[in-house]
Chain A
Amino acid sequence: MIILDTDALGHVQKKDPVGLLIESGLDASPDRDIRITAVTAYEMLGGAVALIDRRKKERRDPIPAFHLLQDLVDYLGRWRGRILPYETAAEQIYRSFPARLRQELKDDARIAAIALAYDAAVWTCNESDYAKVPGLTVFRAETALRVR
């Protein structure tokens, strides 16, 4: 099972050059079970809500930010059945991480915990952070190569 982390998914969503590399790596991967996590959904939607709040506060046009939020909701709908939940097993793994690691990785630590709970590999553009998580399988998303 492959989990795309939030940053890797952002590139894929944008279809920028890194995103296209990741997509071609996914095409070539023998592992066809590709997922995202509820943590990524939380981060994406949280970012859109924060954007709306910021524009409202600054008295700027909120409409493009609402459009972005709607696009993200539609996009997440396509992942229905492929969004791994954040549940007790992941929470217990997350709690087992050293406090310093949790503080440093923030929500990425929760993604790592879900990956460990489901025995999944994390595909990320930020492999140096995930590599600090004991026992986690990490792939550099742009190259589709396992780094740990």
Chain B
Amino acid sequence: MNESRTSTDEILVHFVRPGVGTRDYHLSEGATLADLLRLSGVSMANQAVFIDGVPPEEAVPLRDGVVVTIVPQPRNAAGDEPWRAAVPAFRDEAIFREYSEAMKARRESDPGEEPRA
């Protein structure tokens, strides 16, 4: 593998590192993500890697023309953090506004409560 070499047995991989830049690598056909990382000298420690926007398997061969992106792992990120989810219905501004108004009206009409007897 050599980034300056080109032949029909090679694939071109675009390696994107936000904040660092984009670099193209020519790899042997069948090269994997691990090969790319070895060649580029980039460690995956505390990094998230995506191939064409999808988290990959290290051993999966790269395809010609793919874009490999490596970004710092969000601090303390975990897949089960519920606050990362959104409420799809809230994308509809009109229904969200109406819901917010209904909540507000409900709060304002809350009479509170008398102390228990």
Contact = CB atoms under 8 A, between A and B. Distances in A.
Interface of A: 4, 9-10, 12-15, 23, 26-28, 32, 34, 43-44, 46-48, 50-51, 54, 64-65, 67-68, 71-72, 75, 78-79, 82, 95, 99, 102-103, 106-107
Contacts of B96: 14
Contacts of B76: 27, 32
A23 B77 CA distance: 11
Q: Give the interface SS of chain A, mostly helix, strand, loop or mixed.
A: helix
B115 A95 contact: yes
Report the interface size class on chain B: 20 to 34
A64 B100 CA distance: 14
A27 B95 contact: no
A95 to B, nearest CB: 7
Contacts of B75: 27-28
12 contacts: A12-B83, A14-B87, A27-B74, A34-B83, A43-B106, A46-B106, A64-B95, A65-B95, A68-B95, A68-B99, A95-B115, A106-B110
